[in-house]
Structure 1
Amino acid sequence: MSDWTAGYIADIAYTYGYYTELNPLRLKLAFLNAGLACPEIANACELGFGQGMSANLHAAASITQWHGTDFNPSQAGFAQELASISGAGARLFDEAFADFAARSDLPEFDYIGLHGIWSWISDENRRVIVEFIRRKLKVGGVLYISYNTQPGWASFAPIRHLMTEHAEIIGAEGNGIVSRINGALDFTEKLLATQPMYARANPQIADRIQKAKEQNRHYLAHEYFNRDWLPMHFASMAEWLKPAKLSYACSAHYMDHIDVINLTAEQQQFLAEIPDTQFRETTRDFMVNQQFRRDYWVRGPRTLSPLAQAEQLRQLRVLLIQPRSDVSLKVNGNLGEATLQDSTYTPILDAMSDHQIISLGKLEQATNLPFAQIFQAIIVLTGAGSVALAQEDTHIAKAKKSCEKINHYLCQQSRGSSDINYLASPVSGGGIVVGRFQQLFLLARSQGKKHPAEMAQFAWQILATQNQKLVKEGITIESSEDNIAELTQQAQLFCDKQIGILKALGIV
């Protein structure tokens, strides 16, 4: 009998994560920064969609027609349920890549996305995916792909191999993957305590193992314990994608576009003297010790004229999605923490403090700042999660109904679980972080309970029936009165700071 898992962990469900880099709307800012023409995304595909959160939130929140596959039937079943509830028409399957690629009812795609999956599959499946991209990605279409990268994994790869060997050889199969992961972590920690020469040569390994012990076991199972696990150099990725006629466009991680927070002046100058784009990226990975790349590739890049680039940039629409008072003027890059220039960021944030959609052109008029400063600030603020791009008004209107349906369902699920912490925004075209308690407060509002005390009482009744209590600063809150008091404080904060933003995002 063939192994349908192909060596991939299938006996433990993947996390209910949402990955904003998969949102096609984010292409525009990155491509325009690189001076490239960005395609309109009518048809999109996600390969290896996990629980289907990204595919479904993007389908519900946009007018893009989504397709995708994930080989795990349990995950695909949940994803299909979400697609049915939203009514957005996403076509999601539980087929292996080869079977999905052989379908005759798939359109050509403007956009194909893979988040992480490339690092965990066999070379055979990689060849299937590249051939699928070659046949199905339109001219001018974009591939988003993220993957574990060298040289960042060079020191950890031997320990990862040791842990998977322990899980396979020493770990008891009947105990399940979680037990085997715990056993492998404990064994590795004991090994490092003996001060082997490997640990002395790689002193950061002990900290990474400690951090791994604190992480969700479902995440660790899929990140480290698959049969296939291959961090790949950028140049190797370029070689893999060559048959699909893809060219590197730019990073999908916005902070990578800001050299000053990632590279010293000497490093920037060194890279600027490398004429070949791909070799320059390979070299840059050594400078930042890259561990995980998030990249856009394009089938036939087209360079915009400076005039076209400037005009399209000024038409981009954005909105502030954090309370003005909560936006930090400090960001982290590979060089550490950097302080943003108050004279640039304060006028921009003040102009956006009403949380209404504004174009970069209008922002330029409102602040009287040089446009180059505004543009760079928006990249930083979007990369930091303080700002989101906004769709066209016609797209927002068409996506509202499907967002309402999927958000109502997700809020209902929050009554019994904290697994899903995202809702769909027809404005941003994708998912927005909304925690479990905030979802419960939204449910309370939908039933006419709009005062913080009412919201808190509503949430506590749901939690109490399941013998659940709040935890604050690592300590469980024991009494009903104290739980209600804490929920009331959170509900008050929700009303004061978040409701207005969720309205601006079309979620409320």
Structure 2
Amino acid sequence: MSEWEAGSIDGIEYTYGYCDELDPLRLRLPLLQSGLTPPALRTACELGFGHGVSVNIHAAGSATRWFGTDFNPSHASFARQLTQCAGSQARLFAESFAEFCMRDDLPNFDFIGMHGIWSWISDENRALIADFIRRKLNDGGVVSMSYNTQPGWATMLPVRELMNCHFQASARLSAHSGVPAETQVQTHIAAALDFVKTVVATQPGYAVVNPLLAERVDALCKENTHYLAHEYFNRDWQPMTFSQVTSSLAASGLTYGCSADYRDHVDEINLNPAQRALLAGVPDTVLRETVRDFCINRSMRRDYWVKGRRTLSDEAQQTALRAHRVMLALPRDSVLLKVRGALGEATLPESLYGPILDALASHHPARLADIENSVRVRGITLPLIVKAVTLLVGAGVLLNVQDEAQIDLARPSSDRLNAAICEQALQHGDVQFLVSPVSGSGVLIPRVPQLFLLARRRHLREPTQWAEFAEAALRTSSAPAHITEGVSVSPLNTSGDLIAKANRFAEIHLPILQALEIA
């Protein structure tokens, strides 16, 4: 039975997003903090890769051999086109999990990644994947998995059921209407959202005892239809507790490593003092994580699971942390010392974060040991640096950096993939991420800056020329205007506006993109 037959939404494609938790290079810092040995990353696999933006970025940005599957033929076709452009040798398939997981030509893997799919597939497919992990994940390997969880989803479960029931009823009525499948799906989703808003507006008892429900439904109505289709309207959809996932993965030989969400590693922004004291007294991992989810009211978990935990000595841990490299990915002056955790927005102390950011202001890669040497006179110790760097990476201010040999290997395929994505920007702005061979990860670059980069590739040297090039592309493309950086081509993207953007791009952003070896 294919995933289509198992209840997935047919006729509408998923989004073109990028998921940094699927970057296996990203697992190094949190595993080291947890006292665990990161695996050597020779082979990796992504299950359910969507349009393949993440898997292609990670394949092009590293020397790791990538494999993966997505059951949607359109998704897989787009992904393979990107692979061909990059020349990364990733092997991507349009197969069901049942087909892919039983292939006899797959290597064993050091890393297996899944974003969201664990919540969206049947019990049968979860069992298939668990067995695949048992058979194909190397000892010391890591699984990165994000999934919907409780208690954060508890309030919305009945809402999802209402929407899905309305959607299914509408689908039955229009089964033979002759309307294109994608149009039908979008129409049925819009009708289901309107119906739920109407129900909530009558002040039902459920909404009375859940006063934030109306606000959450309103927020839902603003989401991308393609996201909603796959998040809310699959037949199989189950937010699972941490204990349920632990039990499901036990037979695979996996144990919990740590959170893949960098912000989770700084308790002060997520838990009040009483909660931190409570969790410190809970030795059992399953109970502690369950209590933590309860305190945070978590709706999605992002976890690293390890096969055969390999712990580090204190000395080895400190050595590895000092060797870890990062770089500043934003203009130093634009970094706001604010971060949002489960407790809300927190202000980061200038006395700690300012010197660390100043040490990285050149946008050159630096080891944590280099930062330590730079800020030692201020009394800033390695544990404080590790915590600060972790939070800054989690906030997107810093990027992890791979070693020079890996950067050298990643340059050619990264450049080819970026060129292909920038060429696509002539027609649309679907893919808004490019790959840095320095970090091996995706960097958010919307359509207009992509067009500026493409103009530079075509040997146009002046910002005014980049603006003219972008304006011509925006006016002649068939893409909807709203795709372009969230603004219309006219009147906001006038010649003067684009020239101003190009000048700012040249002055502020281009030097950083050059340091990232994207430009």
CA distance in 2 between counterparts of 1:3 and 1:250 reads 30
Contact 2:430 2:483 in 1 (8 A): no
Structure 1 residue aligned with 2:50: 50
Structure 1 residue aligned with 2:74: 74
Instruction: Give CA deviations for 1:78-121 in whole Å, capped at 9, x if unaligned.
Output: 11111111111100001100110111000000000000001000
Structure 2 residue aligned with 1:363: 371
Instruction: Give CA deviations for 1:392-427 in whole Å, capped at 9, x if unaligned.
Output: 101101110001111100000011111110001111
Residue 334 of structure 2 is aligned with which of 315, 326, 331?
326
CA distance in 2 between counterparts of 1:4 and 1:463 reads 36
Contact 2:475 2:489 in 1 (8 A): no
Residue 233 of structure 1 is aligned with which of 233, 238, 241?
241
Residue 397 of structure 1 is aligned with which of 399, 404, 408?
408
Tell me how far 1:466 sits from its aligned partner: 3.5
Contact 2:101 2:132 in 1 (8 A): yes
Contact 1:141 1:298 in 2 (8 A): yes
Instruction: Give CA deviations for 1:470-505 in whole Å, capped at 9, x if unaligned.
Output: 89998857469x711111111111111111111111
Structure 1 residue aligned with 2:352: 344
Give the root-mean-square deviation of aligned CA atoms: 1.7
Give the 5 Å matches for 1:192-207: 192-207=200-215
SS of equivalent residue, structure 1 residue 156: helix
CA distance in 2 between counterparts of 1:472 and 1:131 reads 43
Structure 1 residue aligned with 2:33: 33
CA 1:197 to 1:254, structure 2 compared with 1: closer, same or farther past 3 Å? same
Amino acid in the other structure paired with 2:267: D
Instruction: Give CA deviations for 1:222-248 in whole Å, capped at 9, x if unaligned.
Output: 110000010000000000001001000
CA distance in 2 between counterparts of 1:495 and 1:129 reads 47
Unaligned 5+ segments in structure 1 are none
CA distance in 1 between counterparts of 2:406 and 2:241 reads 38
**Runs of 4+ residues over 3 Å off in structure 1:** 1-5, 170-175, 466-480
Structure 1 residue aligned with 2:450: 439
Aligned-residue sequence identity (percent) comes to 49
Residue 414 of structure 1 is aligned with which of 414, 420, 425?
425
Contact 1:329 1:342 in 2 (8 A): yes
CA distance in 2 between counterparts of 1:238 and 1:169 reads 36
Is 1:110 aligned to 2:74, yes or no?
Answer: no
CA distance in 1 between counterparts of 2:110 and 2:491 reads 55
Contact 1:67 1:91 in 2 (8 A): yes
Is 1:295 aligned to 2:303, yes or no?
Answer: yes
Amino acid in the other structure paired with 2:104: S
Amino acid in the other structure paired with 1:343: S
Structure 1 residue aligned with 2:9: 9
Is 1:257 aligned to 2:268, yes or no?
Answer: no
Instruction: Give CA deviations for 1:415-450 in whole Å, capped at 9, x if unaligned.
Output: 111111000111111211111000000011112222
Amino acid in the other structure paired with 1:193: A
Tell me how far 1:215 sits from its aligned partner: 1.1
Structure 2 residue aligned with 1:497: 508
Amino acid in the other structure paired with 2:299: Q
CA distance in 1 between counterparts of 2:36 and 2:18 reads 27
Contact 2:3 2:71 in 1 (8 A): no
Count of residue correspondences: 507
What TM-score, normalized by structure 2, do the two folds share?
0.95
Residue 310 of structure 1 is aligned with which of 310, 315, 318?
318
CA 1:377 to 1:166, structure 2 compared with 1: closer, same or farther past 3 Å? same
Unaligned 5+ segments in structure 2 are none
Residue 463 of structure 1 is aligned with which of 452, 474, 477?
474
